[in-house]
Structure 1
């Protein structure tokens, strides 16, 4: 072939036919020398237009790294180009810049779409709430998204590069292997497995896995795993809920039933059958109303209608069973909602027949003295409040008689408490008969009685007083011992001697002491000239100095567990020895301390000393036990009680659980305040006991509200075990009440084996009394505490 020779026209033709833009520019003068037609077609200029513009007018940002540059068209659009420039020296000897530009618009679009797709995938991968992962052919995690960290408890860096089997339970790992091989064969699988997280929790995972294909070759697994633990837990809880519902319904100790909106039985449990005496098939479809006693049917229908209005509530009613038995039932009605519509009523019926009997008994005890059967001090307090209001409204007079049995201490000391109780019973009967309908007789406490005569003027009051003095002066046959026991009577009149309960009682009490000083066996009206004698003034004077002079000390009496073999607590008891008065009975100085307010600092000393001694025993290695301390009413309602006790516990280092505070039922008179105080005391951790329980100053309703741990049966009931059936009934009732309320019961005053056997037989938890040990000094009682044995 002949050698080909390029002509200038050939070269120009080639230059203008290429797809790349070609620029020839003079860098020195910043102008274009020539361009090819590709540049003009891409940028939209004519050659004449283009040759008049400077290179800088159509050139945009330049990336030296990528050799990329933005060119602007005639209409201002961006045209990305890849450029290659190099100098060239032509025949005129001048050096020019030859630039070749390739249009990379399409590649940029592809790059942008790829970048966007990649970012979207990364976003899906990084922020998806489910776990996204890839595994290679060897079962090794290659990638895993951050969602895995919450389930696994490991970071993604810790998981990556480790076998997936390392995070499964052995059984789950074994079960996943067949699925793994299915995916390796090109199948898509879905299965459940269990991942064990770092904190050893098991997570139920719903896994979908597909083959990972690159260049038509399976290189691993890509999958999504969703934590289904909560769903499974929900399903489990639902199942358990259904089981609990069936257990609540079928095995409930109370009657559980459902009614339709017409009050007909739809479902009943076995307890319902027992209470009604009817089989379930006989009850379903039948109205509940015929079972309700006639006098309560109207109210029962009203209560049922309230439930149909959507209000759950409770009430009490009485039914007749098929056997004719009358039962008191506590009813709870709960509307049944289905799709926000009431379709029926759930009903729970608790048989409270026995509870009502106990409550009736306890309410009687709350307002009546157990020894004499007379209305008690609480009853008097409420009665006189009503009488005061009525007397004020109708401008009436009434009188209060304060009676004290003369020489009663002599009977108790020389004939025994049993004879003293017998005398009080006989005295109460005689007073009640003598009084008749002219007034109401109350036992105020100990050997004191109060009579409330309303209405009554001075003449009628004298007549009553003379009859009382005459009749009570007759002899009493105390089981073969003929006793003459008289009464001293003090009288105050409303409104002449006072217009408040406190004033009238205090002035009747003053008049009674005047009667005693006048030779006993007489009555006296209150007179401002005669005040209550203060034989206790001397005692009171020494009492003010007793704390400072360190004349008080504590003795301790053991409290024994039901097995009689273990000392589980001690009661701290206050004693006072004065240099001039000698040993002063607590019965003498405690009332004075209470009246003067000295009981507050004295009580704080007792608390601190008892806590200090108990902590000392513990520090010496003695078995820990509870120390019980009595609180007086004035202490109990003192504003700083709770903080004072907390400070004493902190100061002595004794844990609150080893301190028990004993209060009396009389503190329930201010029930709401007492409930709040008891709650605050319980909050700091101390135990609470009701002392002298059963003496008739509280009621069951208050008892249920109190935060207490223990009931202490008053020793007056224990004393007459096996000789007084009424006392026996009271004791068994109190023990039963304690069991029902989940409270421990301790009996005070246990002195004989017969008393102990009776208490053990009826389930009393603890005992205290001379049978186990008398109150003793700390050094005497210490060996017994260490051995946890009782002493003779």
Structure 2
């Protein structure tokens, strides 16, 4: 039969019937009459796009679901007579009585057609409905206008641990004597007065319930279900999303959502401050005592920060050993008060499993609205201020200002451009002559990196080398200079210039790199430079990890490379320690050479004499005048360099100088 034929037959028989009528095939509507549409509140067009199961209350769907199955076992036809709950378009729950036929018409289709009647209030409490109510898992009870209990189902007895015979006819607040019941009663009264359905979640006797109440002119029908486990699971999910599992503090998501929803709204601007806190020496604690102790330290730090802030702000864990604090409506003096309280609280050690652990906070502060309009900007600015505080040993905290932003923006630009310039080999290597003081001959050259950026101009090594150290780019930069210097010296040697060696500065970070020695050997092989013509200059800070440094220096010495200590006298070492390292030369720092101008040259004389006694050659850095030169020659310092002889020059200028000397 075609749909048009079915519709015409059904219209003829049932269009204006007082009973609802429907015809479905494999669960899909093919026909509904006017009364059916009135019962459920959908129009014909909407119903034709729906499945019958969508009109059935969730817990009653098992009763009807088999109408969608293709197999009726041994039956070709089955009569259906059931009472079940339906869901109107308004989401109101209604009780319906269905009489129909389910029939298999071929191997692929089952049709289900019949009448439906909405039951009235009086029928809700009769035995027919009671059968349904007693079988459902939801609790159900009805109240009259005096809030006396008229009916409870089996599920209500189990969920609330009551007996129906003890509570029917009793006001609900007497039947369920619990302080929580007041929250329910208020809502029930409002629903009865307004004749509007209500849905809510509420706590009763330490259990959470989802409640739906439907009023009529005679009574209030209430359905409820226990959602405690679901609620607890949701709370766990919420905690995982918005709280830190280790410290139990709010996390960055909570912090951002709170500020965005409560403070950064379209209404009145509420001033607030963000404190960005980083712990000093936390990595050392982890490396020394282990991560378990590190975790316990973070927990105790969280407790101290919370105690300092109390109810006047929010403490959140941002990441790792970083924390955020929000202070609302705080003046600068109030912010300073909290900062002092935090810093003072860290003066005492943290006692963790019999260990006394010390750490201190570095704090950066940004303020809304003067330091930014968006949360991301405010956190970034607080982070910048914190980083500045970490670098500034005089203070533990810094308030953000625009100069800081400009400074760190420039640092970030330098880092980015330095990476690109290294890849494109845009850095230049200049060379400063090292002079044999007695003869005046050029003994060697020190390779020094220089950088002239096409847009940023000349960038001082004092600016970009610390950034390279900090970011790890010093490894690639050092290899770049080493490769260029060795290659250039080999070219000069093959051009018959009488150069003994080239010196290349090596940072501590390079020396600690696990492939440093292999890289030196690789460069020497590629450039075919004899190792004896390469001198590597290291700083005194190598003595901080003396065992590792001694191993690496011995390996370098074994391949024939010369070694010198750069800027001697400004660092951590003593001549006694250096005596045990395979060092060839000491380079006296230029600050001592400058002292010669003020007749304060006793220390220079002492360094030179002790160096000779320990068989070190001496190189004086920063020679700028003849007085310095003569005194150094008098004290038998073998070598020197400085602007008195020549400033660092590019390779082509060095060649001119070598030709002139030659």
TM-score (norm 2): 0.42
Q: Larger C-alpha radius of gyration, 1 or 2?
A: 1
